[in-house]
């Protein structure tokens, strides 16, 4: 059995046919696209996430703005030919095709359309929201149409000691129906297999103290998934996968070490540097949120003396990464509804227990982004809750944005502004002499900029700021002994007019270098 796509257009028949024979003893997900652009007809067939046939035909006459109406038929051209062997579980026909519709992988589990969250058959038309930041390797999050809401995300490679070779992605979901009731069914952990087009390999039902909880962010370490919720952390060992004989649906039981009270809401967690980091989600009228780092004990339990960092309000998840000689914390912020989610990047050196640091960079994604996790390639993964039935179909203020995916953002996108030569962001390397350098970022700037500089040997240095006439207007560093290394300082010019200025670095050895800065008001 094969698949053939035909289209009768302007009294001509155009077709595309796959040579792939379908296995009639299993389910298949078939997508086909038939699009007219100018004077060209494009037709594509995708089976089980793999393109199997494509064709392009030039039309004698371009269609322009002609409205085309034609019947749509599943099956052979007449009643004498067999249409299918088996059954059609679901079929949808759309006249709008998103870029994500073409590439998103299908979980093949859950109700409705092979686990895809579709809301075409309700009283509002729902199209996918475009992401302001480039994403790839998307997969639909399963069970969202089954009254489950995704929250946490981790992957096997979050633990750098994971032996491999097959790393999995794990998503935590809690039960919430369209009326807002929660806890009618146990919370779940879903295991997606990247090596099999991100299909559901196993689905685990929680059986510990947090089995009915609003389970938030999750972490992976030493074969165990740690869940944060209700001020507690609970660890669940993942059973070994035994091939095709492994049960797909299993109960998941917690570690014998029990439940750890870590204080605060404990809304999400991540693993990094032999430490379990636990963070709080807080609204504006609540206490300050913190990220607390608990060293891990050999038995999988956590130490009672954490390290603290302040977090922004509405933080949904965190993840750490190293780049060059620096360590960075990434923070996911989401307000839901119509607002984009934010991904902040902080340098660890700027973090404090007493105030919220200024992020070095912020990226935007569609609404509903939740937990974060880095994989072995250094790319970051996140999951959106915007595809959940509760948020899309509730009576009061249903969400307008719709991005029902787990998705990846490449490392080069996250750090494209960082120059590892000095370990500090946004520096134009072409303008810097080796071993003795100065630059600034951002440039131009309209409030405050960061001056970054590097010296090759211990020196007494001066840093001065000059206008275009050569008059010194500031002297942030004056005859200061500075060991060899890289440094940065903040500079603002509130009393000065907008324009071009110069920052000069000089040393007692007679060396000097200058960078140009542009101040905008």
Length of the chain measured in residues: 521
Residue 172 contacts residue 216 (beta carbons within 8 Å): yes
Return d(Cα 275, Cα 518) in angstroms, integer. Answer: 42
DSSP 3-state helix, strand, coil percentages of the chain (rounded to 5)? 5, 45, 50
* Beta pairing partners, 438: 453
Range list of β-strands (E), 210-289 = 218-221, 224-229, 232-237, 249-252, 259-261, 268-272, 275-279
Note the pLDDT of residue 251: 96
Residue 245 has what pLDDT? Answer: 79
- Closest residue by Cα to residue 129 from 400, 419, 426: 400
Q: Give the model's pLDDT for residue 66.
A: 53
Residue 471: per-residue pLDDT = 82
Strands 199-206 and 249-252: what pairing? parallel
Under 8 Å between Cβ of 239 and 223: no
Q: Determine the distance from the C-alpha atom of residue 417 to the mean position of all C-alpha atoms in its chain, rounded to a whole number.
A: 18
Q: Are 311 and 291 in contact (CB under 8 A)?
A: yes
Give me the pLDDT at residue 433, please: 42
User: What is the per-residue pLDDT across 375-426, written as a single tens digit (0 to 9) for each?
Assistant: 999 999 999 999 999 999 998 888 989 999 999 999 999 998 886 654 444 4
As a whole number of angstroms, the distance between CA 337 and CA 42 comes to: 35
Ranges of each domain in the chain: 4-88, 101-416, 419-519
Q: Which residues of the chain have pLDDT under 70?
A: 1, 60-72, 75-87, 89-90, 94-97, 120-125, 419-435
pLDDT for 434 equals 47
Domain 101-416 coded CATH 2.115.10: yes
User: Distance (Å, rounded) from C-alpha 394 to C-alpha 117?
Assistant: 15
Q: Cβ(437)–Cβ(429) under 8 Å?
A: no
**CATH superfamily, domain at 419-519:** Macroglobulin (MG2) domain (2.60.40.1930)
Q: Which residues pair with 249 in a beta bridge?
A: 203
Query: Model's pTM, two decimal places?
Result: 0.77
Bond before 165 cis per omega within 30 degrees: yes
- Quote the pLDDT of residue 118: 75
Q: Which segments within 131-239 are labelled E, that is strand?
A: 136-140, 148-155, 169-175, 188-193, 199-206, 218-221, 224-229, 232-237
Q: Please give the Cα distance from 289 to 184 (Å, whole number).
A: 29
Q: What is the pLDDT of residue 280?
A: 92
Segment (H or E) for 293: strand 290-295
Cβ contacts of 196 within 8 Å, gap of 6 or more: none
CA distances (Å), 377 to each of 36, 72, 167, in order? 38, 44, 12
């Amino acid at each position: 059995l094969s698949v053939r796509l035909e289209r009768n257009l302007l009294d001509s028949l155009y077709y595309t046919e796959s040579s792939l024979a379908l296995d009639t003893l299993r389910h298949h997900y078939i997508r086909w696209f038939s699009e007219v652009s100018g004077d060209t007809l494009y037709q594509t067939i995708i089976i089980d996430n793999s393109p199997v046939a494509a064709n392009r035909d030039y039309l004698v006459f371009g269609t322009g703005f002609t409205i085309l109406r034609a019947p749509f038929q599943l099956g052979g051209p007449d009643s004498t030919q067999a249409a299918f062997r088996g059954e059609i579980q679901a079929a949808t026909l759309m006249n709008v095709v998103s870029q994500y519709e073409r590439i998103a992988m299908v979980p093949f589990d859950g109700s409705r359309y092979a686990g895809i969250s579709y809301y075409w058959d309700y009283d509002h038309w729902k199209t996918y929201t475009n992401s302001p930041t480039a994403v790839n390797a998307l997969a639909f999050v399963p069970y969202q149409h089954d009254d489950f809401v995704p929250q946490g995300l981790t992957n096997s490679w979050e633990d750098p000691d994971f032996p491999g070779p097959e790393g999995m992605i794990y998503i935590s979901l809690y039960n919430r129906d369209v009326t807002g009731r929660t806890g009618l069914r146990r919370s779940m952990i879903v295991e997606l297999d990247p090596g099999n087009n991100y299909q559901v390999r196993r689905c685990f039902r929680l059986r510990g103290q947090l089995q009915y909880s609003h389970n938030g962010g999750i972490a992976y370490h030493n074969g165990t998934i740690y869940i944060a919720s209700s001020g507690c952390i609970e660890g669940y060992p993942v059973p070994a996968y035994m091939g095709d004989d492994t049960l797909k649906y299993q109960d998941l039981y917690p570690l014998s070490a029990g439940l750890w009270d870590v204080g605060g809401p404990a809304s999400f967690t991540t693993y990094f540097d032999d430490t379990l980091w636990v963070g709080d989600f807080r609204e504006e009228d609540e206490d300050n949120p913190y990220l607390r780092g608990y060293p891990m004990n050999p038995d999988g339990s956590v130490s009672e003396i954490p390290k603290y960092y302040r977090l922004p309000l509405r933080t949904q998840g965190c993840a750490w990464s190293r780049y060059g000689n620096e360590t960075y914390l990434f923070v996911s912020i989401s307000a839901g509804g119509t607002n984009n989610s934010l991904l902040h990047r902080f340098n660890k050196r700027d973090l404090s227990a007493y105030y919220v640091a200024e992020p070095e960079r912020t990226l935007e994604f569609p609404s509903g982004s939740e937990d974060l996790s880095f994989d072995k390639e250094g790319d970051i993964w996140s999951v959106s809750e915007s595809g959940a039935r509760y948020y899309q179909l509730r009576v009061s203020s249903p969400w307008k944005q719709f991005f029902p995916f787990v998705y990846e953002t490449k490392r080069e996108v996250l750090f494209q502004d960082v120059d590892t030569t000095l370990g500090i962001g946004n520096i134009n390397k072409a303008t810097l002499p080796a071993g003795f350098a100065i630059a600034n970022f951002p440039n131009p700037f309209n409030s405050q900029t960061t001056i970054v500089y590097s010296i090759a040997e211990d020196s007494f240095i001066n840093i001065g700021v000059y206008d275009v006439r050569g008059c010194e207007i500031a002297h942030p560093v004056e005859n200061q002994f500075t060991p060899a290394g890289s440094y940065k300082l903040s500079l603002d010019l509130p009393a000065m007019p907008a324009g071009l200025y110069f920052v000069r670095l000089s040393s007692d050895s007679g060396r000097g270098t200058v960078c140009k800065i542009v101040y905008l008001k």
